[in-house]
Amino acid sequence: MRVSSVPETGNTITNPVIPGFHPDPSVCRAGDDYYLACSSFEYFPGVPLFHSRDLVHWTQIGNALDRPSQLRLPLDTASSGGIYAPTLRHHDGRFWLIVTNVSGDGNLLFTATDPAGPWSDPIRLSGVHGIDPDIAWDDDGNCWCTTAGVGQIRIDPDTGETLGPSRRLWSGAPGAKAPEAPHLYRIGDYWYLLIAEGGTERGHSVSIARGRTPTGPFEPCPANPILTHRSTDHPIQNTGHADLVQGPDGSWWMVLLGVRPGGGTPGWHVLGRETFLVPVDWVDGWPVVGELSSVMPAPPWPLRPQAVAAEVRDDFDLTELAPRWISLRQRLPEDCTTKERPGWLTLRARGGSLDDADVTFVGRRQQHRSCRVRTLVDVADGHGGLVVRLDERHHYAIEASSGQVRVRARIGPLDTVVASRPTAPGPVVLRVEAAAVQAVNDARTGPDFVSIGIEESDGTFVELASLDGRYLSTEVAGGFTGRVFGMYASAGSVHFDWFDYEPLER
């Protein structure tokens, strides 16, 4: 495995602090350490977990839900179904993770003594309804669960039992849609209820209210929404779904999701919703959010880059896959292994194509608007290849079979072979490159172009197709996820010697 280090940021930091498809961030502090969790939707393992010592540099330390007993995603789990909006907290010496599986199991609670795992099997919260659950404790030891809507109920976190009736709290601005992502905090003399509203598209925003008790009544902040980029041409849009945390010096900060649309009108985002960081001041008992931008002044404490950062290459030398690798709905050991052929990843086909819910797939999130992905594949025993995927109905792939490669594009109901080419016997290097558009010449210009082809033995790139990237965007496909580059098998067994991900820009 080859890695590249995170560049020093000097007097500035670069947003997003966790780029790519990492939405709905929830953060907690334990001593000098910070931990952050994100939604994972239809992908397994679920709920990626990150660690930081400075709120700026984050390293993935695992996935909270990495066993089938924790995460059930049936084959009829729709894309953008599955795991929604975790809340991560540290309380009474334990880490607590509460989350919704919208594809069957409802609201679930997990615990761990080490956030890197293992995490417990789920405690089912059958009496808690709604999505985006939050968990908070008052001074008397009562545990309050607050959900989108915004409703609240007291629970026993050790058993999942509900204690008393559910009641409605404050639900944001009158008429604003989708009051969700609630987080409840005790800060000073008040309890604060932070929510998102306006929907997770361009109207997304963050609002807050406060009360003297965790059950309210809550008075809204007169400056609501305290953060939104709606009706602006700001390069960061869809800002919302926030969580508050104190920095090492006692200052306050907010993590939140946002997108970076590109191209012409209406702007297309392809990386999904990403995790951003912004400072927060307190004025007259209310939080005032600082300016959110892609380059911001560094926090007033020493930055502590992680020893190992952005992964560039995986040679599949380990017996287990690194935590950044994700699969669709499940990962069966007999269909995905590095043990069959040492130093290679072997995928054995289940579903027949990328259109099928049970396709054998292993991928990683696209985290840069311009990047290059390469893999060496041996298809002597089957068919398979390399894909940039948004969902079953939106993907571009290059598939190898014995003596041939072909480029296939699936855009909604349209499915076509764009190009094909014979290849010499033996393994072949497949390549996909995303190149962000730097200048918009007309309103229909997409955010990037996706070049797909093979590499000759001397390293020469043979481009077979260059496809408009906007068709693999949320604005076209819908849903809540971002692009994932992956390897897949569509027939028989397919072997991958290495996978290389090279950022070409931030």
Instruction: Write out the catalytic residue numbers.
Output: 24, 180
Q: How many CB atoms lie within 10 A of CB 160?
A: 18
CB 137 within 8 A of CB 91: yes
Q: How many degrees, rounded to 5, is the angle at CA 493 between CA 490 and CA 499? A: 85
Q: What residues form DSSP beta bridges with 207? A: 195
- Give the whole-angstrom CA distance, residue 209 versus residue 195: 9
Q: How open is the CA angle 387-21-19, to the nearest 5 degrees?
A: 110
Alpha carbon 381 to chain centroid, angstroms? 34
Return the DSSP state at 441: -
Q: Where are the strands (E) in 53-129, listed by range?
A: 59-65, 83-91, 94-101, 106-112, 123-124
DSSP state at residue 256: E
Nearest to 227 by CA among 148, 290, 294, 134: 290
Closest CA to 235 of 289, 196, 277, 292: 292
Dihedral Cα 388, 391, 396, 401, nearest 10 deg: 90
The type of residue at 184 is L
Determine if the peptide bond prior to 118 is cis (ω within 30°): yes
User: CA 161 to CA 151: how far, in whole Å?
Assistant: 16
Q: Which residue has the tokens 């560094």?
A: 298
- The residues, ordered by sequence, that sit 6+ positions from 497 with a Cβ below 8 Å of its Cβ are 315, 316, 343, 344, 375, 376, 377, 378, 427
Q: What are phi and psi of 27, to 5 degrees?
A: -130, 150
